[in-house]
């Protein structure tokens, strides 16, 4: 295959634009009263100690965030906070969602995309007061991806991928074009096999998706606080497998792409990293509920912390 043909999948990728800050402000105004969480109370105004300028909390749909930094001198607000999407309710509907298990297959991106879609559907449904939780058939998504692209999922040739490592955009293009099938129970499958007249099972469709610059921490934290869970890539080493749910992961800086792992960001906060205020995220892993056990949750795991920068 020539190099011009080599990147045909990447050249087909159409990224939408993320909601901008004023759109996030608008969402906050629309849904402020319908979202319930236990963190709003302690988010206060902040006065920059150098400039004496006062900053109000940043209002978002799910949760208000402390002012990020001073516009004039750039000083970071060091007030610690944390919250997570999975603890929030909109119109009384919980936004917690399924933990997937990729079962040792190199399918993390697809599972993380499924988790992100699950969480997004929950938020969209909850805005209307509905619980939307029909499970997605991820193994079927993997099959469709491999048929459509001709690649083995998780083992694509690097030159075929976005920036040579990212298969997420390819997955999103396939999902956009072919939809995702819902997971059927045994009874539904039996019915489908018996009655040829039944209409085909509806597939979930996606209109668009967007990418965010990982350095834009303010936008990322505001997107999360506005009910946009995000699929993210990280590097991991051996210690990752021993990481507990209440520990912060210091991801290795240099590693091969074979150590890249996709996760779903569901939370943000601010804590001290080497005595400096630093934003952290919480991620939901797709290695089942036994990964990253959390003693507070009786060893029910899958979520862990990682630093924003
Ligand atoms: Zn200042």
pLDDT in tens, 129-153: 889 888 888 888 999 999 998 988 8
Dist. CA 75 → ligand 1 center (Å):
6
Dist. CA 76 → ligand 1 center (Å):
9
The span from the CA of 214 to the CA of 212, in Å, is: 6
Dist. CA 66 → ligand 1 center (Å):
15
Dist. CA 56 → ligand 1 center (Å):
14
pTM of the model: 0.85
Strand, coil or helix: what is 224?
helix
Dist. CA 47 → ligand 1 center (Å):
8
Dist. CA 67 → ligand 1 center (Å):
12
Structure confidence at residue 159 (pLDDT): 82
The span from the CA of 182 to the CA of 204, in Å, is: 7
Dist. CA 186 → ligand 1 center (Å):
61
- When pLDDT is averaged across residues 28-52 and rounded to a whole number, the result is 78
Contact 264, 232 (CB under 8 A): yes
Dist. CA 44 → ligand 1 center (Å):
17
pLDDT in tens, 191-218: 667 766 777 777 888 888 998 888 888 8
Closest-CA residue to 219 (of 268, 282, 272, 285): 268
Dist. CA 53 → ligand 1 center (Å):
7
Strand, coil or helix: what is 287?
strand
Using 50, 70 and 90 to split pLDDT, how confident is the model at 3? very low
Dist. CA 305 → ligand 1 center (Å):
29
Dist. CA 188 → ligand 1 center (Å):
61
Furthest C-alpha separation in the chain = 74
The span from the CA of 168 to the CA of 238, in Å, is: 23
Domains within the chain, CATH numbers bracketed: 3-307 (3.90.70.10)
Residue, of 243 and 220, whose pLDDT is higher = 220
Closest-CA residue to 232 (of 145, 74, 108): 108
Burial class of residue 187 (count of CB atoms within 10 Å of its CB; 0-12, 13-18, 19+)? exposed
Q: Quick one: what percent of the chain has pLDDT higher than 90?
A: 17
Structure confidence at residue 223 (pLDDT): 94
Parallel, antiparallel, or unpaired for β 303-307 and 248-249? parallel
State the DSSP string of 175-207: HHHH-EEBPPPHHHHHHHHH-TTSPPPPEE---
Dist. CA 108 → ligand 1 center (Å):
42
Dist. CA 77 → ligand 1 center (Å):
10
Q: Which residue has the tokens 């045909």?
A: 8
State the DSSP string of 140-163: HHHHHHHHHH-SPTT---GGGSBT
Dist. CA 100 → ligand 1 center (Å):
44
Across the strands, what pairs with 267?
84, 282
Dist. CA 197 → ligand 1 center (Å):
68
**Is residue 1 scored above 50 in pLDDT?**
no
Parallel, antiparallel, or unpaired for β 276-284 and 81-84? unpaired
Dist. CA 219 → ligand 1 center (Å):
20
**Is residue 255 scored above 70 in pLDDT?**
no
Tell me the torsion sign for CA atoms 182, 186, 187, 189: positive
Dist. CA 45 → ligand 1 center (Å):
14
For residue 98, the 8-state DSSP code is: P
Query: Which of 57-71, 211-225, 236-250 comes out lowest in average pLDDT?
Result: 236-250
CA 244 to centroid of chain Cα atoms: 20
Residue, of 89 and 6, whose pLDDT is higher = 89
């Amino acid at each position: 295959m020539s190099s011009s043909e080599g990147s045909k999948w990447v050249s087909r990728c159409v990224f939408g634009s993320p909601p901008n800050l004023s759109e996030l402000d608008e969402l906050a105004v629309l849904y402020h009263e319908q979202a319930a969480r236990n963190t709003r109370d302690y988010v206060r105004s902040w006065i920059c100690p150098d400039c004496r300028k006062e900053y109000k909390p940043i209002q978002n749909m799910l949760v208000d965030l402390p002012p990020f930094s001073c516009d004039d001198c750039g000083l970071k607000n060091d007030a610690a906070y944390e919250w997570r999407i999975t603890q929030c309710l909109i119109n009384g509907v919980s936004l917690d969602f399924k933990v997937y298990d990729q079962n040792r297959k190199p399918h993390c991106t697809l599972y993380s995309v499924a988790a992100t879609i699950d969480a997004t559907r929950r938020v969209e449904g909850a805005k209307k007061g509905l619980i939307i939780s029909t499970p997605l058939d991820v193994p079927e998504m993997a099959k469709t991806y491999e048929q459509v692209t001709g690649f083995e999922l998780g083992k694509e040739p690097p030159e075929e991928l976005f920036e040579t490592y990212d298969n997420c955009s390819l997955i999103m293009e396939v999902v956009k074009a072919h939809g995702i099938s819902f997971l059927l129970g045994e009874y539904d499958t039996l019915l489908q096999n018996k009655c040829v007249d039944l209409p085909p099972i509806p597939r979930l469709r996606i209109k668009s998706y967007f990418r965010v610059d990982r350095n834009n921490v303010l936008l990322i934290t505001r997107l999360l606080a506005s009910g946009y869970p995000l699929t993210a890539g990280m590097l991991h080493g051996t210690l990752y497998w021993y990481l507990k749910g209440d520990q912060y992961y210091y991801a290795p800086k240099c590693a091969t792409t074979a150590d890249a792992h996709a996760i779903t960001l569901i939370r943000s906060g601010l804590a001290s990293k080497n005595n400096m205020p630093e934003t952290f995220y919480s991620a939901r892993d797709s290695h089942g509920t036994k990964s990253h056990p959390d003693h507070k949750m009786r060893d029910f795991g899958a979520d862990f912390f990682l630093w924003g920068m």
